[in-house]
């Protein structure tokens, strides 16, 4: 089978003869005498498109044959026209070439070996076996983009065994036979079966999104080309919204958010003080009252816990605090000093369509019941 994509990754339409077509689990497996469809491999996803008017669902290489899984059968011996989904192909070409440039520069600068590579629908990841920090990441991004913008030509060759033996190139394993070498002059030379752009400038630009420790080295997330442009535009749109909401200039949103967080922290501290005063007054009000049922609006789970804890130690009995609204459900906290509420909590959750639990003497959760139902349940206990 002739693999047209190896010689010309820009070929989007071709003609071929169907050599075989067999039914499989996911559709119909079609083998052609030649193909421009790239099969999944080397970290690069397969191409999509159309064969003879039939949608191609997957493409894999099996036992030296490129197998196209189609949604409908194609007649063996017939000649069909194939069309590649070019937008998808070019996106993958940009990312695969961008990965080579980043990996090659990292290898040259810090001796990193690329030990893992995955092209996802949103981002691609590169696993390097050397630790890099955020400063090195920014340096790597700057140098990779400088190389891209210099628009170096990219060459693809099939060197002879003698030429290959004398060539310095990256590869994850020992290779023999017909080896395809992809060279980015001044950045990277690597054994690779994937599709690539013709010049580095066609990558557009590369954006390194994150670096995190992974095994003995790091995992880098990145996007290239059109996907990188969409990513930057989304970030800019979000920042523009934040800028408008905070009445801050677009390059001053970070400082504006910091001020907002400080103001929010001050307000939370003030609310906490006011809650403590309110809870102390309620505890004093119910001192010695025995079992107590309270409804208090607007409490967080922590506020529920603090109020219940304060009142139960004053009332001398069981304290139950509910916060919420009819039709929306209620959160609860129930406590009893030295008590065992496990059986009670189970019965309450069953009766009031609730869920929750905790320690024997203190439980928290929520119920989907109205205030009248809650009051009726506690009145009977």
Range of the domain at 164: 90-233
Helix%, strand%, coil% for the chain, nearest 5: 40, 35, 30
Same domain, 159 and 289: no
What is the arithmetic mean of pLDDT over 353-367? 95
Asked whether 334 and 363 are in contact (CB, 8 A), the reply is yes
> Residue 215 belongs to a domain with what CATH number?
3.30.980.10
Same domain, 117 and 174: yes
- C-alpha to C-alpha distance for 350 and 108, rounded to whole angstroms: 66
Same domain, 100 and 78: no
Whether residue 99 is contained in a domain is answered as yes
Whether residue 251 is contained in a domain is answered as no
Whether residue 246 is contained in a domain is answered as no
How many folded domains does the chain comprise? Answer: 3
Who contacts 282 (Cβ-Cβ below 8 Å, separation ≥6)? 294, 307, 310, 311
Q: Which of 174, 205, 233 is the last residue of a domain?
A: 233
What is the arithmetic mean of pLDDT over 138-153? 97
Reported as type and span, the H/E element at residue 354 is strand 354-359
Task: Let me know the angle formed at the C-alpha of 225 by 208 and 181, rounded to the nearest 5 degrees.
Answer: 85
- pTM confidence score: 0.78
- C-alpha to C-alpha distance for 279 and 342, rounded to whole angstroms: 25
> Residue 39 belongs to a domain with what CATH number?
2.40.30.130
Flag the least confident range among 83-92, 142-151, 177-186, 205-214.
Answer: 177-186
Q: Which of 84, 100, 118 is the last residue of a domain?
A: 84
Q: Which of 209, 233, 257 is the last residue of a domain?
A: 233
- Return the number of other C-beta atoms located less than 10 Å from residue 326's C-beta: 12
What is the arithmetic mean of pLDDT over 17-46? 95
Phi, psi of 186 (to 5 degrees): 85, -5
Q: Give me the pLDDT at residue 172, please.
A: 66
- Return the number of other C-beta atoms located less than 10 Å from residue 273's C-beta: 10
Same domain, 182 and 300: no
Same domain, 80 and 97: no
Supply 317's token pair: 């009995």
Same domain, 40 and 108: no
> Residue 374 belongs to a domain with what CATH number?
3.10.310.40
Same domain, 183 and 147: yes
- C-alpha to C-alpha distance for 368 and 326, rounded to whole angstroms: 9
What value does the CA radius of gyration of the chain take, rounded to a whole number of Å? 32
Whether residue 255 is contained in a domain is answered as no
Whether residue 261 is contained in a domain is answered as no
Whether residue 279 is contained in a domain is answered as no
Same domain, 58 and 120: no
- C-alpha to C-alpha distance for 348 and 271, rounded to whole angstroms: 31
Reported confidence tier of residue 166, pLDDT bands at 50, 70, 90: confident
Whether residue 312 is contained in a domain is answered as yes
Task: Let me know the angle formed at the C-alpha of 150 by 144 and 155, rounded to the nearest 5 degrees.
Answer: 85
Same domain, 148 and 192: yes
Judged against a pLDDT cut of 70, whether residue 176 lies above it is answered with no
Reported confidence tier of residue 170, pLDDT bands at 50, 70, 90: confident
pLDDT tens, position by position, 220-270: 999 999 999 999 999 999 999 999 999 999 999 999 999 999 999 999 999
Same domain, 221 and 319: no
Same domain, 69 and 122: no
Supply 275's token pair: 């809650």
Same domain, 171 and 296: no
Q: Give me the pLDDT at residue 346, please.
A: 95
Exposure string (b/e) for 204-233, b if CB count within 10 Å is 16 or more? bbbbbbebeebeebbbbbbbbbebbeebee
Q: Give the percent of the chain with pLDDT over 90.
A: 89
Judged against a pLDDT cut of 90, whether residue 165 lies above it is answered with no
Mean pLDDT for the chain overall:
94
Judged against a pLDDT cut of 70, whether residue 296 lies above it is answered with yes
pLDDT tens, position by position, 315-355: 999 999 999 999 999 999 999 999 999 999 999 999 999 99
Whether residue 327 is contained in a domain is answered as yes
């Amino acid at each position: 089978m002739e693999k047209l994509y190896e010689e010309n990754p820009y070929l989007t339409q071709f003609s071929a003869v169907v050599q075989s077509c067999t039914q499989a689990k996911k559709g119909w497996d079609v083998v052609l005498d030649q193909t421009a469809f790239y099969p999944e491999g080397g970290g690069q996803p397969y191409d999509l498109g159309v064969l003879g008017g039939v949608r191609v669902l997957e493409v894999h290489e099996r036992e030296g044959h490129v197998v196209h899984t189609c949604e409908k059968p194609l007649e063996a011996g017939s000649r069909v026209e194939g069309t590649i989904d070019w937008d998808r192909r070019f996106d993958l070409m940009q990312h695969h070439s961008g990965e080579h440039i980043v990996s090659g520069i990292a290898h040259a600068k810090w001796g990193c070996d690329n030990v893992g590579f995955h092209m996802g629908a949103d981002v691609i990841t590169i696993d390097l076996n050397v630790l890099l920090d955020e400063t090195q990441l920014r340096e790597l991004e700057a140098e990779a983009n400088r190389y891209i913008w210099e628009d170096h030509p990219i060459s693809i060759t099939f060197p002879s065994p003698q030429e290959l033996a004398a060539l310095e190139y990256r590869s994850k394993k020992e290779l023999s036979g017909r080896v395809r070498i992809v060279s980015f002059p001044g950045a990277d030379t690597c054994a690779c079966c994937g599709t690539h752009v013709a010049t580095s400038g066609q990558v557009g630009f590369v954006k390194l999104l994150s670096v995190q420790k992974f095994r003995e080295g790091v995992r880098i997330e990145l996007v290239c080309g059109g996907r990188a442009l969409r990513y930057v535009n989304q970030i800019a749109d979000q920042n523009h919204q934040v800028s408008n909401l905070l009445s801050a200039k677009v390059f001053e949103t970070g400082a504006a958010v910091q001020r907002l967080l400080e103001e929010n922290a001050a307000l939370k501290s003030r609310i906490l003080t006011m809650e403590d005063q309110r809870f102390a007054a309620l505890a004093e009000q119910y001192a010695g009252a025995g079992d107590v049922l309270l409804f208090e609006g607007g409490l967080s789970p922590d506020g529920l816990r603090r109020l219940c804890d304060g009142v139960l130690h004053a009332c001398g009995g069981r304290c139950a605090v509910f916060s919420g609204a009819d039709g929306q459900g209620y959160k609860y906290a129930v406590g009893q000093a030295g008590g065992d509420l496990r059986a009670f909590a189970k019965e309450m959750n069953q009766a009031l369509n609730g869920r929750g639990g905790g320690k024997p003497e203190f439980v928290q959760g929520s119920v989907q019941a109205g205030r009248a139902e809650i009051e009726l349940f506690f009145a009977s206990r």
